[in-house]
Amino acid sequence: MDHFLYRNGILHAEDVPLPQIAAEVGTPFYVYSCATLTRHYRLFEEALAGMEHLVCFAMKSNSNQAVIAHLAGLGAGMDVVSGGEYLRAKAAGVPGERIVFSGVGKTKDEMRMALKGGIRQFNVESEPELIALSEVATSLGVTAPITVRVNPDVDAKTHEKIATGKSENKFGIPIAKAPAVYAMAAKLPGIEVIGIDVHIGSQLTELEPFRLAYEKVRELTLRLRADGHDIRRLDLGGGLGIPYERSNTAPPLPTEYGALIREVFHDLDVEIEIEPGRLISGNAGILVASVIYVKEGEGRDFLILDAAMNDLVRPAMYGAWHDIIPVVEPAPGLDQRPYDIVGPVCESGDTFAKQRQMPAIGPGELVAFRSAGAYGAVMSSEYNTRPLIPEVLVKDDHMAVIRARPTFDEIINRDTIPSWV
Ligand code: LLP
């Protein structure tokens, strides 16, 4: 459920009509709903109620500071994967003790930054990273709390580009090697082992892969405790999928996911941490674009929008589906016709949808891409010197531009031409 609904025939973001935002900021733009962010964050809170836990929002899915500040205000922690994300979280007011540092290639500079600024834990992904962290921590005279990310070799049954829990993926250490790596960690100065981390992939639409991975983590917890390690926190990653295509069967709900976690771990006396991104931010955002032209091709009509693959890359990159709906509600029973919905970028890959059924629509009209709040703005680029599009946040009838569209001067002045060119 989200808060982008038709009212009096016009699509609204909460209480704000989208044409009003379009008139103020121009198209294309992203708009996020505080109510939907809150609702989805709380679903996880409720799903884990009664167990000691922290929900750490995976900032990579949407790192606008207004979004982060809103979630942090509800009590969320943050899962960061770079020094930049760490600084953003801090700038948005998230305390270090609620920031988890994930990622397969943390540099020593990033480790230093987090150790100085405060960190809840590092999720370490390899032995060389463990050694580097030990060196940085001892050089600063501090101790780094860590989990080791294990790779359980489980098929997440998702798109191959976003599966992370198979042995062929670059993530984590093979779970069979874990006892040896924990033994090594326990001996290293400046390192304090506190738990285990696992994340098997994104946009998972079934619970079974989570169950397989979590049962392996449970066994490992018992084994590592028997080896004398104080395993008191389990970071179970993110990955729960969302229904992009409303006509498809919906993925499991956070309540069902929470019930699984409870079932597998309830008797272990551990603190649970999860790192959901998409399920919190995905349906809390839409991308609004205008139709520039309707072009009649041979045997097909092209709807040419002012948004392109540089603004929302998911369809081009993963063949992902986003529902695309007109902002003015079509009259019931209106005939639908197939369109190829494309952007203005000079690549055939700049196609959002092929032969998508939509009511007839003309130039100047607005359309909305649903479920665009996660991995939308954060993955955008200025390809074709198309400025990054604005982000707007809505709460009830309030709206605010939370990232403005840069001017062409700002973009062009970023380059320098050396005198010897
Ligand atoms: N934790 C870790 C360690 C991750 O790598 C990720 C996502 C998450 C948590 C959050 O996963 P989520 O709950 O959002 O599924 N760009 C792709 C998705 C990449 C996901 C990368 N890792 C897309 O647009 O589908």
E strands within 1-137?
4-7, 10-13, 16-17, 29-33, 53-58, 77-80, 99-101, 121-124
* pLDDT tens sequence across 169-228: 889 999 999 999 999 999 999 999 999 999 999 999 999 999 999 999 999 999 999 999
Measured distance CA(113)–CA(120) in Å, rounded: 13
Considering the domain architecture, whether residues 75 and 146 belong to the same structural domain is answered as yes
Considering the domain architecture, whether residues 235 and 103 belong to the same structural domain is answered as yes
Q: Confirm whether residue 190 is marked as ligand binding.
A: no
Considering the domain architecture, whether residues 175 and 256 belong to the same structural domain is answered as yes
Position in ligand 1 atom list of the atom nearest CA 164: 5
Considering the domain architecture, whether residues 291 and 355 belong to the same structural domain is answered as yes
The ipTM estimated for the assembled molecules is 0.99
Measured distance CA(87)–CA(54) in Å, rounded: 20
Position in ligand 1 atom list of the atom nearest CA 123: 3
Q: Based on the structure, what is the number of domains in the chain?
A: 2
Answer with the residue of higher pLDDT: 127 or 246. 127
Counting every residue written for the chain, the total comes to 421
Q: What's residue 216's pLDDT? A: 98
Query: Does the annotation count 346 as an active-site position?
Result: yes
**Domain end marker among 261, 281, 301:** 281
Q: What's residue 10's pLDDT? A: 98
Considering the domain architecture, whether residues 202 and 229 belong to the same structural domain is answered as yes
Domain enclosing residue 332, as ranges: 4-31+282-412
**In this structure, what CATH number is given to the domain that contains residue 135?**
3.20.20.10
163 ligand 1 Cβ < 6 A: no
Considering the domain architecture, whether residues 109 and 188 belong to the same structural domain is answered as yes
* Beta-sheet pairing, 285-296 with 29-33: antiparallel
Q: Is the pLDDT of residue 343 over 90?
A: yes
271 CB neighbour count, 10 Å cutoff? 15
Measured distance CA(45)–CA(24) in Å, rounded: 36
Token digits of residue 412: 């062009």
1 pLDDT tier (thresholds 50, 70, 90)? confident
Q: Confirm whether residue 278 is marked as ligand binding.
A: yes
* pLDDT tens sequence across 89-120: 999 999 999 999 999 999 999 999 999 999 99
Q: Which residue among 278, 314, 321 has the greatest number of ligand 1 atoms within 8 angstroms of its CB, and so is best to mutate? A: 278
CB 353 within 8 A of CB 340: yes
* pLDDT tens sequence across 276-315: 999 999 999 999 999 999 999 899 999 999 999 999 999 9
CB 58 within 8 A of CB 238: yes
Cis peptide before 344, with omega less than 30 degrees from 0? no
* Beta-sheet pairing, 351-359 with 336-342: antiparallel
Considering the domain architecture, whether residues 93 and 211 belong to the same structural domain is answered as yes
Q: What's residue 167's pLDDT? A: 82
Q: Identify whether 146 is part of a domain.
A: yes
275 ligand 1 Cβ < 6 A: yes
Considering the domain architecture, whether residues 46 and 80 belong to the same structural domain is answered as yes
pTM: 0.97
Q: Identify whether 383 is part of a domain.
A: yes
What per-residue string of b and e applies to 34-56 under the rule 16 or more CB within 10 Å gives b? Answer: bbbbbbbbebbbebbeeeebbbb
Backbone φ and ψ for 66, nearest 5 degrees, come out as -70, -40
Q: What's residue 333's pLDDT? A: 87
Q: Identify whether 379 is part of a domain.
A: yes
Cβ neighbors of 401 (< 8 A, separation 6 or more) are 24, 25, 390, 391, 392
* 276 Cα to the center of ligand 1, angstroms: 8
Question: Which helix (DSSP H) or strand (DSSP E) does residue 226 occupy?
Answer: helix 208-226
Q: Identify whether 418 is part of a domain.
A: no
**Domain end marker among 214, 248, 281:** 281
